[in-house]
Structures are given as C-alpha cells and as structure tokens.
Structure 1
Amino acid sequence: MSARRSDGSGIVVIGLGRFGCHLAGALTRMDREVLAIDRDADQVQRFSTQLGRVVQADATEEGALRQLGVTGFGRAVVAIGASVEASVLTVLALVELGLPQIWARATSQKHAKILSSVGAHHVIFPEAETGDRVAHLIVSRLLDFIEFDDEFAIATVRVPQSLVGRTLLDLRPDERYGVRVIGAKVPGERFRYASDDTELPQGGVLVVEGGIEQVQRFAGRN
C-alpha cells in the first residue's frame, strides 16, 4: 500500500455493492488512493485483495469515519443503494467532517432531493445514466458517446461510407450536418486532431461533437 498522499487527491468509496466495487476498482487502476468502506464483513473480505485499502465500518457514524482518517481525503462517494436511510446519514456524517466534495448515488428523484438538501455536492443516477447511454448505442451507429445535460454530445463514429475520401474542408460537416469533427483515426494509427485538410479514411473512426440528434444523423449516413 502506498503512503498517504498529502495533496487531498485520495477518494473514499462507501458501499461495495455492484456500483461501488466497480467504481473503487476503476479508481484504483487509475492509480488513485482509494479507501473503500462497507459495513458487511463478507464484502470487505471479498475485495480486500483487489483494492488497496478496504475496511469494515458503519459509515453513518461520524466518529468511525474520523477514526479511519476520512478527513484526509479530498473526495468521497456514497455508493450505498440498498438503504436510503444509510445513504442520507452517511452524507450527513461526511458533511459534518467537512469533506470538500461529496458525491452520492441516488435511486429515485426523492432520494436525490434529500441527498442534495443534506449537503451532497453531486448526485448521480448510475443505473439511469447507463440505461440511457446503452439505449442510444443500440438504436444508432455510434460506437461510444458522452451526452451532456443540454443534449450536447461527444461521440466516436465510423466514417460513413458515403463520405470516405472527402476532406473536412470539402464536406463542411458543421454547416451540412450541425456537427464538428474534432479528431480522426486511420486504422492502425492513433487518433489525431482534425483539420480542414483531414481526409476521411475508409474504415476510420471520427470523434464528433454536436447535438445528440445531429451526431446520430451524421453517423447514420450510408
């Protein structure tokens, strides 16, 4: 285990259910200092060899969190989904400890309002967000995408067959399709930033930004 970092970059993940364990694992692979907490001894044992530091504790107790050194971390994620009460009480405990950033998982709109009202800085709906994203991928030709609140998206798409060999200057996708091509990848090479003289390659992949409907329409060209 690495020594505690002093820059507050560590992240506390509370609740090792399906979402919490995947989040903690991803952060660990990103070389972030992670303190994972769960009240279930079996869950703690299960992930003790996969995560850097996993402890059993009742995260609704401010004293227990203080004893674990949670105040030395810059961010905390309350990933508890099975108990609304435990989720809210844990956020309250973190607020009392003065955590700079508190992220909390909500299972309903009512739950989200409560979390926000007691002090959570960011409320997330992982199941809903994943469902929306997968739905878009299923019904479109997008390879991957990130959608923002104002229906703006950044996506990766295969070069439409009808556009192969044309340059962005000739195509002018911003005027014709309402999207902007910001990067292109030729098979076997790395992504490169796009410019007016970028030629759309056969079998290539583009990074495109714009409204989600415009991006989907562009990706669906034959």
Structure 2
Amino acid sequence: MVIGLGRFGISLASELTANGVEVLGVDADSRVVKEHAPYLTDAVVADTTDPEALEQLGLDDIECVVVAVGTQLEASILTVSHLLDAGVPDIWAKASSEAHGRILSQLGVHHVVHPERDTGRRVAHLLGGKFREFAEVTPGYCVTSMSAPHAFTGFALDLDEMWRKHRVQIIAMKHGNGDVMPMVNGTVLAPSDIIIAGGSPGALESLNR
C-alpha cells in the first residue's frame, strides 16, 4: 500500500507496479486517485488519518505500507500512528525534514526515507561531471560509477592494495558496450572503461581526482 500519491508516492508506486508488485494506492483527493489509478493494481480514496477508514482498506492483507505524505506533518504522523497500532509489519515513511524524520523514528517507523535530502546529496556529487551515478548504501558508504581514473589504467590492479591505500573497493567494470563484469585481481583497465566503486564519499571523490 502506498499512501499519498504525490510526485514521490506515484513515482514509487508505478515503478513497483511495473516490476510486478501488487500495489494499492491511497489518497484523500479523488481527482489524484482517478488520474493515477490506471498505473496501479488498485487505487482508492480514503482519509488515512481516520483509523476506521484505514482498517477498511484491509490492512491484514498488506505486507508493506509506504506513507508518502510528506508536507502534511499532522496527516503523516497520525497515519503512521494508526498503522503501528494496527500492527503493520513493515512501514516506510517519507520525511520532509530532519525533525519530521526524528518524530517518525521515535514513533517506531521501520524505515524513514528523506527523498529531497538524499537527492540533494546525490546531485552534489554528480555536479563535477566525473561520477555517472552516485548512491548512498549506508551512512558513510556509497557506490558510484565513473570512467576509470587515468592513474589506475594500463597495469594489473591489486584490489587489496587499492583498499589499503585508497579505502576504495572496485566492485565491477564495463568495457565499451559490453556487459558489467565482476572486478578481479590483475585486471588491466583502459581509459574508456567504466568502473563501479564503493567507499566513503571522501574516498571516492579522492579517487576521482
């Protein structure tokens, strides 16, 4: 179930549906529900701040609920509170600010997401033009794809030494238009190769330079 079919909610819900997940979309605005219903398994109009309305949605059959209501703080908190009271086993909730996120965590939400903050961080690392993609997997550890740095091309790489000296793991590589292949010791990179690397943001930026 995805509650709140704004830009974040419908983007997430439609992507899940496209990948074969059954998704029930919920929003208090009938116009929004009508507009997005074709892209979801099902969509209903409901005020999720009302516990009775939530119960009528069949929570017993729902494995996971995403609360994508971000800007309406009261609606977000009330909805989450009712879902927790109902014993929903897996709740994800969008936070519109750090304070909102702290409240959601204190309530007991299983996963708090910060789309705007995380997108801002990602774009900050992409602005230099060297990183092709950038994703924070866990605090302090990120994964990125980039062109192979010139200093690491033309000779057999020692991946253990790469980690000891640069605190970066080269996970995989792609040569030209070929498939992505796992990185192994002794691989010789060419300047045109794309690598996928993991490490702290600082270590990855340093590798880039």
TM-score, with structure 1 as normaliser:
0.87
Shift in alpha-carbon separation, 1:45–1:211, aligned structure 2, 3 A: same
User: Match for residue 72 of structure 1?
Assistant: 61
What aligned pairs does 1:94-173 form with structure 2 within 5 A after superposition? 94-139=83-128, 141-169=130-158, 172-173=161-162
For residue 33 of structure 1, what is the amino acid of its counterpart?
E
User: How many angstroms apart in 2 are the aligned matches of 1:154 and 1:131?
Assistant: 16
CA pair 96-141 structure 1, distance change in 2 beyond 3 A: same
Give the secondary-structure state (helix, strand or coil) at the position aligned to 2:142: strand
**For 1:199 and 1:171, how far apart are their aligned partners in 2?**
15
Change (3 A) 1:82 1:153: closer
The answer for the alignment partner of 2:22 in structure 1 is: 33
Could you tell me how far 1:140 is from its partner in structure 2? 5.5
Q: Which moved more, 1:21-30 or 1:59-68?
A: 59-68
Please report the RMSD computed on the Cα atoms of aligned residues, expressed in angstroms. 1.9
What is the CA–CA distance in structure 2 between the aligned matches of 1:170 and 1:70, rounded to whole Å?
48
Structure 1 vs Structure 2: percent identity of aligned residues?
35
Q: 1:199 corresponds to which residue?
A: 188
Q: Partner of 1:183: helix, strand, or coil? A: strand
1:215 to 176, 192, 204: 204
1:157-195 per-residue CA deviation (whole Å, 9 max, x = no partner) reads 111234332221399422332212111111121111111
Q: Which runs of 5+ in 1 are unaligned?
A: 1-11
Runs of at least 4 residues off by over 6 Å: none
Instruction: Report the AA paired with residue 102 of structure 1.
Output: I
Q: 3-state DSSP class of the match of 1:168?
A: coil
Q: Which residue of 2 aligns with 1:92?
A: 81
**CA–CA distance in 2 between the matches of 1:170 and 1:90?**
48
In structure 2, give the amino acid aligned to 1:43.
V
Secondary structure of the structure 2 residue equivalent to 1:136: helix
* 3-state SS, counterpart of residue 139 of structure 1: coil
Note the alpha carbon deviations across 1:54-78, whole angstroms, 9 max, x for none. Answer: 1111111222222221221111111
Q: CA deviation at 1:117?
A: 2.8
Match of 1:184 in 2: 173
Count, aligned residues: 209
How far has the Cα of 1:103 moved from its partner? Answer: 1.1
- The TM-score with structure 2 as length reference comes to 0.92
The separation in 2 between residues aligned to 1:103 and 1:137, in whole angstroms, is: 27
In structure 1, what residue type is equivalent to 2:38? T
